[in-house]
Structures are given as C-alpha cells and as structure tokens.
Amino acid sequence: MKLRNLKQSQHGLNLRIFVVVHDLAMACLAWVVARMIVGYLTGSPGIGARQLVLELNVILVFQGLILWRMGLYRGLWRFASLPDLGNLLRAAFLGALAGTSVLFLMEKPLEQIAPMAWLFPLLLLVLLGLPRLAYRVLTDMRQEVRRRRATLRTLILGAGRSGRLLLPELKRRGGYDIVGFLDDDRRLRGHHIHDVPVLDTIERLPRIAQEAAVDLAIIAMPSANNQQMQRIVEICEKAEIEFKTLPTLKELGSTLARLDDLKPVAIDDLLGREPVSLNWEAIRSGLVGKKVLVTGGGGSIGSELCRQIARLNPERLVILDSSEYNLYRIDYQLKSEYSSLILESVLGNVCDSATVENLISRHQPDVIFHAAAYKHLPMLQNQAREAFRNNVMGTMRVAEAAIRHSAETFVLISTDKAVNPSNVMGATKRIAELYCQHRNQISNTRFITVRFGNVLNSTGSVVPLFNEQIRQGGPVTVTHPEISRYFMTISEAGQLILQSAVLGDGGEVFVLDMGEPVRISYLAEQLIRLAGKEPGRDIEIVYTGLRPGEKLFEELFHAHENYAETSHDKILLARNSRRDLNWIVSRLKDAERAVQGYDIPALMQILNELVPELGRAKSAKSSNVIPIGEVG
C-alpha cells in the first residue's frame, strides 16, 4: 500500500512538472511570436538574439510567478473548468502588465510597447487555454466510450427456467445489452424469449461471440453436473470472453434467479457432483431436541457440521476445538445467525482426558461428531507420535467418555487415506476406525464411521495452495502427472455425514460416493484458467515427485470389505467380515506407553502390527516400487 501511494505521488509530481514546463514554454513562444508580429507591423529592425534571450529570462521569472500565484498547478488538466479559465484570464492580464513593464525597463519605443500590451496576453491565453481544453475534451470522450463499454454485450447460456427468470432481472438493473440465448435444445433455435432470440447451440459460442462482439457469457444452468460445466467452461475459454454463472440448485435453494447471485465460475462448479438429495426429515428427527457435541468444530468439516446442525433446532450445540481463532470464528458466526441457539464453545484438546471428561459429564451429549484430527499427510509422516496421540488417543478419550455417559451416537469422521494406508496419517485413522468398531461391539453407544476423500477448499488442502501459487505468479507444483484424488464440496460432505448418522445402527463404515477421481494436474490447469491465465504460458506447472507416503490413486474400500447400497444413493456401506477386535486393546495400551515414553521406534512397530499395509508399503518402497498416497 505504501509503495502504491509512493508511485501515485511520484506520478502526480511528474504531471505537474510537465504542466509547469509546458506553460513556461508557451509563455516564451507567445512572447517570441508577439515580438515578431509587432516588428513586422511597425517595420522596426529585427531583435537581436542576446536581447531576445534577456527578455525571455525576465518574462519567465515574472510569468512563472504569476501562473503559480493564480493556482493553475493545484489541479490536473482533466479537471480543467470555468474557474481555471478565469485564472488563465487573470494570468494573461497580469502577463500583459509584466510584458509592458519589461519593455519599459528596456526603454523600448511606445509603438512597440502598445501592441505588445494586447497581443502577448492574447497569444498567451490561446496557447495556455487550447491545450487544456483539448485535453479535457479528449478525456471526456474516452470516459464516454468507457461508459458505453460498461454496458456489456451479454449472452445467456441456457434458455430454461433460470435463464428466463434472469433475463428481466438483467434488463431491470441495466448495464447489460442482451444479445441472445444459446441452448443445446435445437428445437428452441429461432424462438424468442421476451423479444430476445435463441441464436444457436452453446457449441457455437466462440463464433457468435466474435461476430456479435460479446463481452460476457452468463451460464444460467444451475442443474448442470460437473461434466456439463467442464464442457461449457472449455467453450467459454475458447471464446476468450468473461463468463459467470448462477449458483447450483443446492446453493440456490428455492429462491429465484437474481442478479446478485451471479458469481465467477469456481472450481467447485467443475468438480462438484449433481445436487445431493437428502432425507432432511430423518436427519431433523435424529437431531432435533438433542444435545450435540462436535469436536474439531472450528475446522473445515467441523464448522460446516456446526452450521448445518444449528439449522436443525438441537437442544444444545457444544463445540470443542484446540484453535482459539477457529473456535472464535465459528462461535461468532453461529451466534450472529442463530440468536436462539443454545451454544457453548470450549477451548481444549481431545487428548486431554480431564477436558473431555468434564465436557461430556457436564453436557451429557446425545450425539457426538468427532471431527478433531490431524490431516496433513507429509507433515505427519515424520511426526508419528503426534499423529497417533491426536488421531488415535484423542478418539479413544472421547469414545470412552461417550460410553461412560451413555451417549446415543458417536460418529467418527474418517478418510479414504485409511484404506490400505501407506502413510502414518492414514494408519492412525485406520486404527481409529478399528477402535470404534471394537467399542461398538461392547457398548450401547452406536459407533458409526463415515469415510470420504478430499474436500475442496478445506484448510490445508491443495486448492488454496494452488490459488496462492497462482497469485504469486507460479509455478504451480504437482507431485506427479498421473496423481488423482476424489473430491467433494464442504457442504456436500457435511450433509452426507449427517445423513449417515441417522442411517446406521452401529458398527457401520459408511463410504460417501465420491464420483470419479480427478487428476491433480487437471485441477491445477482449471484453477489457472479460472484465474484468467493460460497453463504453460502464463503459469508453469512443475512436477516435483511423490513425497514419502503418497499414493498415485486413492481407494475407498479395503480388500476384505464388500460394499452394499443404502437407502441413500450417495452413501455406500462397507461390509466388514466379523472380526475379533479384542486384540487391538492390548496393543493400544502398549502404544500409549510408547507415546508417554516418547519411544518412536516402539510406536512405529505397533503401528505396523496394527496396520500391516503400512509395513508392506515400506517394503515396496525399499524394492523400488512406487509408493502410493495423497496430495495436498
């Protein structure tokens, strides 16, 4: 900000110096021309160079002081107005006095002084005023052109209900010259909607945009799925015009299309799947009037869960988080939006037995959503103790307290990294899954696990990282050209977690349908294009190589798991063969002792025993087989 202000100040100073030099030059020119004309009219001998230089020096001093005192350099030419003309007239009049005084001092004859008294100020007024007038006229003309260009020639992509509702709103607000509609329904071609024609299919956008000098395309297709949005965005990019979109049906809800709803196309629009249809009555009946605890409630998933739970009228919502800032942020937001919500925000760590026991004994929650976890894979790969302590022991502390105080439901938020894990983070989440399944067998509390992949725009995820790299001018770093991940939006993940919580009877591992995996290189390319730049030309993509514990491809099910459909088409049930999990308890006690003694080798040995896939991944790495893991 300081640098920008400094540059602006320097620019203003340079302009004023230019104006001063211009005016002094015009004063000299006016004097020289006036002297030549007077000499011609009076037939007097020509003026010598030395004499002319002397006169000009005196004129520059007098006229410069007059122009400065008239305030002609307090404003800029683009703001020249009638008061400036008055100042010019006064400057010319005083210039006449100054000129005649100079000639008197130099004892020039009266026949030369008299015509100079009116000719010099007249020329001075013209030479100072005309450039200012011309500059003001040209500036106004440019502004008028810009004002006219502010009326954007616009195409609406989609002639369905949303496009038809958007049209009168655009006309009402002004600033949009609607050229026509484009729609893939060929039967609509040639039809008119409120006197606006349906020109052709969306595929013809590049040609029509060029022929009709289109500035903006508005995608009015909130029901479009990700494949359709990807295709439309590619066409808009080929047309090289600005494009915006309406929110999806899930975001728009039952509201009508409004101009304020227009937004730039975001990566969520390209990678999010079709709108999720939920059984809100079942979800509401499972949470209304209930006391709900969300651990890690200030994080990306936890805060979204809190926002959605707050709408369902729980008896009380309790949030536990170890980040003071995150906790403050969600607390402030919920209290602002839901004034009747009984809310308590607790700063604390799930690994602290006293905090967890006190919290759950005081509030006696009916439903617990356990979202507190460390998730940054590369960092945790070299910090196994902290990963185990938070992801496993934290889960154990909350689960044990939930059983002691008769919580009805405990929902563990897990990850696809827990499937055949080749990294520490995934291994700790897999152990947490096994522990919850074990506790479900020996308690009355329903333990439900929800497993899903990467969440777009969550804290520490790859999308914010790529956006930051793009803002800095690149390069965008991707670990491998073929690496791919499953993605879903934060809102979608939160809704499906709530739906899973009311589907399960206990012991289930629900897997959210993540659609098709997305190549990270494709994600990087789309983010660069959405920023208005071209991959490889404006922003480079650099491949850095897989990091320790990373996979090329993620999995949603273990080899011993079968999956079955549930009553919700976006939620699958991972069917485990019945297993005796009592063995896990003794090894977890040994792992706790290793954590307390900071014995990392012993802890890693137990991790490899509890999650054999972790040891096999290390063996594969030592055999020069590419390990498989996560980006971002």
Tokens of 67: 């122009």
Same domain, 460 and 599: yes
533 inside domain: yes
CB 470 within 8 A of CB 538: no
Is pLDDT of 606 > 60? Answer: yes
Residues 295 and 235 grouped into a single domain: no
Domain contains 543: yes
| Residue range 183-224, pLDDT digits in tens | 888 888 888 888 888 888 888 899 988 888 888 888 888 777
Q: How confident is the model over 285-298, as a mean pLDDT?
A: 91
CA distance 543 to 525: 13
| Domain count for the chain | 3
Q: Is 451 exposed, middle or buried (0-12, 13-18, 19+ CB in 10 A)?
A: buried
CATH classification at residue 257: 3.40.50.720
Residue indicated by tokens 């485990």: 576
Structural domain includes residue 501:
yes
Same domain, 371 and 487: yes
Task: Identify whether residues 331 and 216 lie together within a single domain.
Answer: no
What pLDDT is stored for residue 259 in this prediction? 44
Same domain, yes or no, for 408 and 328? yes
Q: Cα–Cα distance between 282 and 276 in angstroms, integer?
A: 15
Helix (H/G/I), strand (E/B), else coil: 454: strand
Helix, coil or strand: residue 136 = helix
Mean pLDDT of the chain: 77
Together in a domain, 178 and 55: no
Residue 513: count other Cβ atoms within 10 Å of its Cβ: 17
Integer Rg of the chain from CA: 37
User: Does one domain contain both 253 and 395?
Assistant: no
Q: Chain-centre distance of CA 161, in angstroms? A: 28
Q: Output the six-digit token pair for 609.
A: 């025993």
pLDDT digits (tens, 9 = 90+) for 473-521: 878 888 887 777 767 777 777 888 888 888 878 888 887 766 667 778 8
* 423 is a domain residue: yes
- Asked if residue 375 and residue 334 are part of one domain, the reply reads yes
In a domain, 630, yes or no: no
| Residue numbers of the domain that contains 378 | 289-622
Domain boundary among 130, 147, 164: 147
271 in a structural domain: no
Q: Looking at the domain assignment, is residue 628 inside a domain?
A: no
- Does the pTM of the predicted model rise above 0.75? no
User: Which of the listed residues 87, 112, 147 is the one where a domain comes to its end?
Assistant: 147
18 sits in the region (left: phi over 0; alpha: psi -120 to 50; else beta) called: alpha
HEC assignment per residue over 324-368: HHHHHHHHHHHHHHCCCCCEEEEECCCCCHHHHHHHHHHHCCCEE
- Picking from 232, 265, 298, the residue at the C-terminal end of a domain is 265
On whether both 184 and 75 belong to a single domain, the answer is: no
Tell whether 142 and 157 lie within a shared domain. no
**Same domain for 418 and 335?**
yes
Q: Are residues 141 and 159 in the same domain?
A: no
> 198 or 82: whose pLDDT is higher?
198
Cα gap 551→202, rounded to integer Å: 38
C-alpha 397/C-alpha 353 separation (Å) is 6
In a domain, 273, yes or no: no
